[in-house]
Amino acid sequence: MADYFRLYPIGMIRQQESTATIEVFEEYKEGLRGLDQYSHLHIMAWFHENDTEERRKTLLVHPRGDQRNPLTGVFATRSPVRPNLIALYTSRIRSISGNIIHVDPIDAFDGTPVVDMKPYLSRKDSIPEARGPDWSKT
């Protein structure tokens, strides 16, 4: 198995004040066909501004950067500092205009590369009996 993978951005997150859009590159625009039938979208992006060799070695963090939370493994958190800097967002689709997807605001920097998107499927993505530690409930 190769010891690396290549990810190719399919677009960029654009943030301007209280608006967010996903600008899908022209060569991937056709992949948006049918997306307007969904209300929500999973967005996978690359935490490009955190990408350093040292940060990729981080395996333990205090969730949410709060020292009152227990030291926890990065795979049990949503920390942006981790071995592979993949971000996962779920946002409501407001509208789609050509290759631009208007979404509810997300916590990402302007220019963040998008590596994939998938529609939110309520029958698969909602897990009513899901559980987690107390710090994750607030």
Q: pLDDT for 79-90, tens place per residue?
A: 888 888 899 999
Does some domain include residue 114? Answer: yes
21 Cβ contact partners less than 8 Å away, ≥ 6 residues apart: 13, 14, 100, 101, 102, 103
Does some domain include residue 67? Answer: yes
Q: pLDDT for 109-120, tens place per residue?
A: 999 999 999 999
DSSP 8-state symbol, 111: T
Please tell me the total count of domains within the chain: 1
CATH number, domain containing residue 93: 2.40.30.70
